């Protein structure tokens, strides 16, 4: 009897294995999948059976995995098995042509992907485990955002990711049609249903990715990658999809899916799959038409009109041109709730443009900084928001991320990542709550320089910041420096000449040539960066009015000490002599070079970064950084008349924006006082941190 029972168990184990090398499945929609599909994040199956990985919420992720793992590797010889999958997908952006972020077909050791982040991480990894061999992660990403950090080739690409979001290989999205002979471009954000095939041959160690807008599989893949996945795969792995949203949001849909180990997955008949919902539309005009058409009597018409007027006062009115603007557009109600009604208790900053509030977004609990800008000019608002669309696509670890915006009548709200340690000026001037060490200061300097190089040379357009100063360098939780506040930034194509504009910025950081040409350039940014270098090392502002009738002009004071051979006397005494002398001297020399009166004598940011990294030594002979009027100061201490002359060189410029719609009434009054020649007001103006 025992022998028969043993034989039965042996036969049962052979005929009914838990995991089979020939396992496969096919889903024509997901309506009746039951427990076969495991979901987490915001992923859900809609009523018509389509799988939606994400929705129009910012900074969320969604996962959908087959519930049971597959055997992906031969336990005897350690060789990976071949596999094939076909799936139909569509990416429907919240606003046409503005998608974010993307999704990936994924083979992973876990179906939860714990600790994964949204945005550029696609819900797959996070900043700590990205690139680790222990991830055992394989993914084919379909990405609609170009991310600088991960070296994406475009905002419309397919890539192979192995243990990292930096793709091993990637191509711009396309497909073949008309007898597999004609390649045509394909936009991931089009909202069209696309069928994708991912095929891995473990004999030839070749991975192919093929796309089509039809049910038939083309003979020509868009991407082929020779790779042996045996070291990547564990014996058992999970298959599924991961997606995320970022600044911009898209709904990522999967309408059908087939998969097979050691064989060819079944292609899907697109006509038999659930339909994909269209993108959001603005139904306000339709509501208004039906509301007014229902006014068949005088009393009813009056009631409807009064009701609509009341609603109009409190709602966000979106004009047609705003629908084409990215990044994510928040509603005023969201931001009001996030900041507790813009309470004074949440106020964390007050600048020339408006107030800055700390907030918590209601859906994600993400900490943000909300900047409220007041403006009376609708035309100026439209031009400003158009630039925000471009600035919102900047991606660099040393730039403060613009998450989105909101317009409510004449008020503009910008939403940024919240920097928990505030602005740099609070740590280097007066009596800071924390004294930054030299190592921390040097790291901040190198970080800001890297971000500025990205703006000047490495992004698709040249971006001139125009307001570089300690107050606009923000510190994250790890005291990394991030350049923020792009409210004054100007953009132009590489190789072109920037246009003449109004002189804006902060006194002490403005390059002298701006008063003559009115043209902001990358070199004028370098001048401001030079002032920033000196104030970080010295712990003093570029222009100080403390003991009238004398004022300190920092660059001339540092130059005087350099000539005397006592340059280390300018170093912030709060460092107590604990610093790398070579690094400090190098930064001071670099600050003097950047502060030169002649733009041609200043280094560019690529040279600055090379100097800071120690790749190129600084010159031994230093050139004097001329005084604003062309003459050199005898001493770093200037008389009140000299300081007034410096200020008037800007006030008398034909390019100075003396009465700006973005300025406060208080500042406009001060400009009038300045032009009237009030010496006391001139001196006081140098202590303020305001824009012209």
Residue-wise over 628-642: b if at least 16 C-beta within 10 A, else e? beeeebeebebebeb
Using DSSP's 3-state secondary structure scheme, residue 354 falls into: strand
Q: 597 near 627, Cβ under 8 Å?
A: yes
| 371 labeled part of a ligand binding site | yes
Q: 262 near 22, Cβ under 8 Å?
A: yes
pLDDT in tens, 647-657: 445 444 555 54
Q: Count how many Cα atoms sit within 13 Å of the Cα of residue 379 in the half-sphere of its side chain.
A: 1
Q: Give the integer Cα–Cα distance in Å for 646 and 683.
A: 11
* Residue 196 phi, psi (nearest 5): -120, 145
pLDDT of residue 617: 86
Q: Give the integer Cα–Cα distance in Å for 581 and 596.
A: 23
pLDDT of residue 326: 54
- Residue 191 has a CB neighbour count (10 Å cut-off) of 19
Q: 408 near 314, Cβ under 8 Å?
A: no
pLDDT of residue 550: 57
Residue-wise over 58-96: b if at least 16 C-beta within 10 A, else e? bbbbbbbbbebbbbbbeeeeeebbbbbbbbbbbbbbbbe
Q: Outline which parts of the chain fall under CATH 3.30.200.20.
A: 318-417
Catalytic hit among 143, 155, 199, 467: 467
Q: How far apart are the first and last CA of the chain?
A: 98
pLDDT in tens, 456-470: 998 888 888 888 999
Locate the DSSP E strands across 375-501. 402-408, 411-417, 462-464, 473-475, 481-483, 490-492
Beta carbons within 8 Å of 7's beta carbon, 6+ residues apart: none
Residue-wise over 470-506: b if at least 16 C-beta within 10 A, else e? bbbbbbbeebbbbbbbbbbbbbeeeeeebeebbbbbb
Q: Give the integer Cα–Cα distance in Å for 537 and 442.
A: 9
Q: Give the integer Cα–Cα distance in Å for 200 and 260.
A: 11
pLDDT of residue 413: 86
pLDDT of residue 383: 54
Q: Which residues of the chain have pLDDT under 50?
A: 3-22, 281-296, 312-314, 320-321, 324, 376-379, 547-548, 627-648, 650-652, 657-692
- What CATH number does domain 25-269 carry, 3.40.50.2300, 2.30.40.10, 2.60.120.200, 3.40.50.150? 2.60.120.200
Q: Which stretch of DSSP H or E encloses residue 390?
A: helix 378-391
pLDDT of residue 519: 83
Q: Outline which parts of the chain fall under CATH 2.60.120.200.
A: 25-269
- What CATH number does domain 318-417 carry, 3.30.200.20, 1.10.357.10, 3.30.930.10, 3.90.1570.10? 3.30.200.20
Contacts 24+ apart (CB under 8 A), 630-633: 630/597, 632/556, 633/553, 633/556, 633/560
Q: Give the integer Cα–Cα distance in Å for 623 and 606.
A: 20
Q: Which stretch of DSSP H or E encloses residue 557?
A: helix 554-564
* Residue 52 phi, psi (nearest 5): -105, 115
Using DSSP's 3-state secondary structure scheme, residue 427 falls into: helix
pLDDT of residue 355: 83
Write out the two tokens for 673: 């006082």
Angle CA(78)–CA(81)–CA(82) in degrees, nearest 5? 150
| CATH architecture, domain defined by 425-685 | Orthogonal Bundle (1.10)
Q: Which stretch of DSSP H or E encloses residue 52?
A: strand 51-52
Q: Give the integer Cα–Cα distance in Å for 41 and 38.
A: 11
pLDDT of residue 487: 65
- Residue 318 has a CB neighbour count (10 Å cut-off) of 14
pLDDT of residue 292: 45
Q: What does the DSSP assignment read for 272-339?
A: GSPPPPPPP---HHHHHHHHHHT--SHHHHHHHHHHHHHHHHHSPPPPGGGGG--SEE--HHHHHHHT
467 as an active site residue: the answer is: yes
């Amino acid at each position: 009897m025992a022998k028969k029972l043993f034989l039965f168990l042996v036969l049962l184990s052979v005929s009914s294995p838990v995991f089979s090398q020939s396992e496969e499945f096919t889903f024509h929609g997901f309506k009746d999948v039951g427990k076969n599909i495991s979901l987490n994040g915001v992923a859900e199956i809609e009523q018509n059976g389509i799988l939606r990985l994400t929705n129009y919420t910012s900074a969320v992720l969604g996962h959908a995995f087959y519930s049971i793992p597959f055997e992906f590797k031969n336990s005897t010889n350690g060789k990976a098995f071949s596999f094939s999958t076909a799936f139909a997908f569509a990416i429907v952006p919240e606003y046409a042509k503005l998608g974010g972020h993307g999704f990936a077909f994924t083979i992973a050791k876990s179906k939860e992907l714990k600790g994964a982040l949204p945005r550029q991480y696609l819900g797959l990894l996070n900043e700590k485990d990205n690139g680790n061999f222990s991830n055992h992660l394989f993914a084919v990403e379909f990405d609609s955002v170009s991310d600088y950090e991960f070296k994406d080739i475009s905002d419309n690409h397919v890539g192979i990711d192995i243990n990292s979001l930096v793709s091993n290989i990637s191509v711009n999205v396309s497909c073949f049609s008309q007898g597999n002979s004609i390649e045509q471009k394909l936009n991931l954000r089009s909202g069209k249903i696309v069928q994708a095939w991912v095929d891995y041959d473990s004999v030839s160690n070749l991975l192919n990715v093929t796309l089509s807008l039809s049910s038939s599989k083309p003979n020509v893949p868009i991407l082929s990658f020779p790779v042996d996945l045996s070291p990547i795969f564990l014996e058992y792995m999970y298959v599924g999809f991961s997606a995320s949203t970022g600044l911009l949001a898209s709904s990522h849909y999967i309408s059908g899916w087939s998969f097979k180990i050691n064989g060819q997955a079944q292609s899907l008949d697109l006509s038999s799959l659930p339909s994909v919902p269209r993108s959001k539309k603005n139904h306000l005009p339709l509501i208004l038409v039906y509301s007014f058409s229902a006014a068949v009597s005088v009393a009813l018409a009056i009631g409807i009109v009064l009701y609509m007027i009341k609603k109009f006062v409190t709602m966000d009115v979106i004009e047609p041109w705003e629908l084409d603007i990215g990044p994510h557009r928040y509603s005023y109600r969201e931001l009001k709730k996030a900041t507790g009604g813009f309470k004074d208790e949440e106020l964390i900053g007050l600048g020339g443009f408006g107030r800055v509030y700390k907030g918590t977004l209601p859906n994600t609990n993400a900490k943000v900084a909300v900047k409220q800008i007041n403006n009376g000019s609708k035309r100026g608002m439209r031009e400003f928001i158009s630039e925000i669309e471009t600035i919102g696509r900047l991606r660099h670890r040393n730039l403060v991320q613009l998450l989105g915006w909101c317009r409510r009548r004449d008020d503009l709200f910008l939403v940024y990542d919240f920097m928990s340690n505030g602005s740099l000026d609070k740590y280097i001037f007066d009596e800071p709550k924390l004294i930054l060490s030299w190592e921390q200061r040097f790291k901040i300097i190198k970080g800001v320089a890297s971000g500025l190089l990205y703006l000047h040379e490495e992004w698709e357009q040249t971006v001139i910041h125009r307001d570089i100063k300690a107050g606009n360098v923000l510190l994250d939780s790890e005291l990394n420096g991030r350049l923020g506040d792009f409210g004054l930034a100007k953009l132009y194509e590489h190789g072109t000449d920037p246009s003449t504009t109004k002189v804006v910025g902060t006194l002490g950081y403005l390059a002298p040539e701006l008063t003559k040409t009115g043209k902001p350039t990358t070199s004028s940014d370098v001048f401001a960066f030079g002032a920033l270098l000196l104030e970080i090392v010295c712990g003093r502002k570029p222009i100080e009015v403390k003991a009238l009738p004398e004022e300190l002009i920092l660059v001339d004071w540092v130059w005087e000490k350099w000539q005397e051979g006592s340059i280390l006397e300018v170093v912030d005494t709060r460092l107590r002599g604990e610093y790398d002398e070579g690094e400090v001297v190098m930064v001071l020399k670099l600050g003097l070079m950047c502060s030169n009166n002649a733009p041609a004598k200043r280094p560019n940011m690529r040279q600055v970064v090379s100097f800071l990294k120690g790749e190129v030594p600084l010159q031994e002979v230093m050139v004097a950084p001329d005084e604003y009027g062309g003459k050199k100061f005898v001493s770093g201490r200037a008389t009140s008349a000299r300081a007034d002359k410096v200020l008037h060189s800007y006030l008398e410029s034909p390019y100075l924006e003396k009465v700006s719609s973005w300025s406060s009434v208080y500042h406009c009054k001060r400009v009038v006082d300045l032009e009237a020649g009030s010496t006391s007001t001139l001196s006081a103006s140098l202590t303020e941190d305001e824009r012209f």
